[in-house]
Amino acid sequence: MHEKLAFFPLQLVVYPGEALNLHVFEPRYRQLIRDAESEGITFGVPTVIKGEMLPIATEVELVEVSKRYASGESDIRTIGRRVFQIKKFHPTLGRKLYAGGDVQYLYVEEEEDYLINEEIVVLIREIYRAMKVDKFVKHAHQGFRTYDVAHYCGFDLKQEYKFLTLFNAVERQQYMLDHLRTIRPERDSSQNDMLRNRAELNGHFKHLNPPKF
């Protein structure tokens, strides 16, 4: 059975459990946030790459409106919830200004292999030290999940999306582990800068121009 869900498409990937902070300025998404506040609706954040909206995405829940501006814009905090597949896209959802679609929620295996996560944590901490990246990484016994560092392990946007589509926990872990083993901090200054910039931006309100369809 398919359910209807409002969409806020962006050129990024959201993972389950991820805190996503956004600056909202377009009228259609200002309306969406008002509806999320007043009606308690959730909404999906489909990933857009080169103008194409991809079919697997994450539902997010509004946590709070942190700041309101006289212009009607706002800063919001959200949290990633369920992963879904888009079955049908609607440029507008009923009489609303914002888009939406018919979606099917997907099962994602969340319990990850402890020993593999121990290896990932050790490796990513070593990489961070070598790159002088100041970012805390939980130990495996503290509840570390691969989603925690998926934006901070050197994936490009296509790889981040691929990672979202891996529903089997061990496949997800192995994909990250294989990627981390390819990183050479001493030779790739551009990757160093990218990782450092990603880590420093964590928690900031993202001011992104939503794509046009």
| Domains present along the chain, CATH in parentheses | 3-105 (2.30.130.40), 114-201 (no CATH)
The confidence score (pLDDT) of residue 199 equals: 55
The confidence score (pLDDT) of residue 185 equals: 75
The confidence score (pLDDT) of residue 190 equals: 60
The confidence score (pLDDT) of residue 130 equals: 87
For 156, the token pair is 């490009």
**Contact by Cβ (8 Å): 212, 29:** no
The confidence score (pLDDT) of residue 101 equals: 96
Sign of the CA dihedral with 34 first, then 36, 40, and 41 last:
positive
Q: What is the pTM of this model?
A: 0.89
**Contact by Cβ (8 Å): 28, 2:** no
* Residue 143 to residue 57: CA distance in whole angstroms: 24
Mean pLDDT of 181-190: 72
CA–CA distances in Å: residue 40 to residues 10, 19, 97, 129 = 21, 18, 18, 42
End-to-end CA distance of the chain: 26
The confidence score (pLDDT) of residue 116 equals: 97
**3 state SS of 151:** coil
Token pair 């790159």 in the structure block, residue: 131
The confidence score (pLDDT) of residue 39 equals: 95
The pLDDT confidence band at residue 2, using thresholds 50, 70 and 90, is confident
Angle, helix 169-180 to helix 114-131, in steps of 10 degrees = 30
Q: Which residues of 57-72 are buried (b: 16+ CB within 10 A; e: fewer)?
A: bbbbebeeeeeeeeee
Query: Model confidence over 63-86: pLDDT tens digits?
Result: 999 999 999 999 999 999 999 999
pLDDT above 90 (res 147): yes
Mean pLDDT of 33-47: 96
Closest CA to 96 of 41, 56, 51: 41
> How many Cα atoms are found within 13 Å in the side-chain-facing hemisphere of 26?
16
The confidence score (pLDDT) of residue 90 equals: 95
Angle, helix 157-164 to helix 169-180, in steps of 10 degrees = 160
What is the average pLDDT value for the chain, to the nearest integer?
A: 90
Q: Which of 73-87, 105-119, 131-145, 158-172 has the lowest mean pLDDT?
A: 131-145
65: part of which helix (H) or strand (E)?
strand 56-68
The confidence score (pLDDT) of residue 134 equals: 82
Sign of the CA dihedral with 196 first, then 120, 47, and 103 last:
negative
The pLDDT confidence band at residue 131, using thresholds 50, 70 and 90, is confident
The confidence score (pLDDT) of residue 106 equals: 97
pLDDT above 90 (res 210): no
Mean pLDDT of 43-59: 96
